[in-house]
A and B are shown apart, each in its own frame.
Chain A
Amino acid sequence: MQLALFIIFGALALGGALNLLFQRHPINSALSLVVVMMSLAVLYWSLGAEFLAAAQVIVYSGAIMVLFIFVIMLLNAGKEERTKGSRAAYTVGFPGAAAIFCLLSFVFLSERGALKSSNIGGDLSNGLDNIAEVSAMLFTRQLLPFEVTSILILVAILGAVVLARKEQ
Chain B
Amino acid sequence: MLLSVLKVAVVLVITLLAVAYTVLLERKLLARMQNRWGPSRVGPFGLLQPLVDGAKSFLKEDMNPLAVERPLFILAPIIALGCALISVAVVPFGAVTHLKGAPGVDLFQIANVNIGLLVILGITSIGVYGITLSGWSSNNKYSLLGSLRSTAQVISYELALGLSLVGVVLRAQSLNLRVIVSSQSAHGALSWNIFGGFQIVAFFIYLMAAYAETNRAPFDLVEAENELVAGYNTEYSSMKFAMFFMSEYANMITVSCVATLLFFGGASSPFGHIFDGLLNTPVFNAIIPVCWFVVKVFSFLALYIWVRGTLPRFRYDQLMGFGWKFLLPLAMANIIVTSFVLAMRG
Residues of A near any B CB (own CB < 8 A): 27, 31, 34, 38, 50-51, 54-55, 57-58, 61-63, 66-67, 69-70, 73-74, 127-129, 131-132
Contacts and interface: CB of A to CB of B under 8 A. Distances in A.
22 contacts: A27-B136, A31-B133, A38-B126, A50-B113, A54-B115, A54-B119, A54-B121, A54-B122, A57-B125, A58-B118, A58-B121, A61-B122, A61-B125, A62-B124, A66-B154, A66-B155, A67-B155, A69-B151, A73-B144, A129-B174, A131-B115, A131-B174
Contacts of A131: 114-115, 174-175
Interface of A is mostly: helix
A66 B151 contact: yes
A62 B176 contact: no
Contacts of B173: 132
What 3 pairs between A and B have smallest CB-CB spacing? Answer: A62-B125, A54-B118, A57-B122
B129 interface: yes
Interface centre among A55, A127, A129 (most CB of B within 10 A): A129
Interface residues of B, number: 30
A127 B112 CA distance: 11
Nearest to B75: A31
B118 A74 contact: no
A69 B126 CA distance: 13
A67 B248 CA distance: 22
Contacts of B162: 58
B148 A57 contact: no
B158 interface: yes
Contacts of A54: 115, 118-119, 121-122
Contacts of A38: 126
Interface of B is mostly: helix
B85 to A, nearest CB: 17
Given A129-B114, A131-B115, A73 B126 contact: no
B126 A63 contact: no
A129 to B, nearest CB: 5
B122 A66 contact: no
Contacts, number: 74
B147 interface: yes
A95 to B, nearest CB: 36
A65 to B, nearest CB: 8
A34 B129 contact: yes
A143 B184 CA distance: 32
Given A38-B126, A70-B155, 10 more contacts: A27-B136, A34-B129, A58-B118, A58-B122, A58-B162, A61-B126, A62-B128, A63-B155, A63-B158, A66-B129
Interface string B143-155: 0100110011011
Interface string B269-287: 0000000000000000000
B214 interface: no
B338 interface: no
A75 to B, nearest CB: 12
B306 to A, nearest CB: 30
Contact of A51 (B72, B115, B136): B115
A70 B151 contact: yes
B125 A63 contact: yes
Which residue of A51, A66, A128 has the most chain B CB atoms within 10 A of its CB atom? A66
Interface in B127-169: 128-129, 132-133, 135-136, 144, 147-148, 151-152, 154-155, 158, 162
A65 B323 CA distance: 21
B114 A50 contact: yes
Nearest to B124: A62
Contact of A129 (B121, B155, B158, B176): B176
Nearest to A129: B114
Nearest to A50: B115
Contacts of A129: 114, 174, 176
Nearest to A27: B136
Nearest to A70: B151
Contacts of A58: 118, 121-122, 125, 162
A99 to B, nearest CB: 36
Contacts of B155: 63, 66-67, 70
B137 to A, nearest CB: 8
A31 B133 CA distance: 10
A62 B213 CA distance: 13
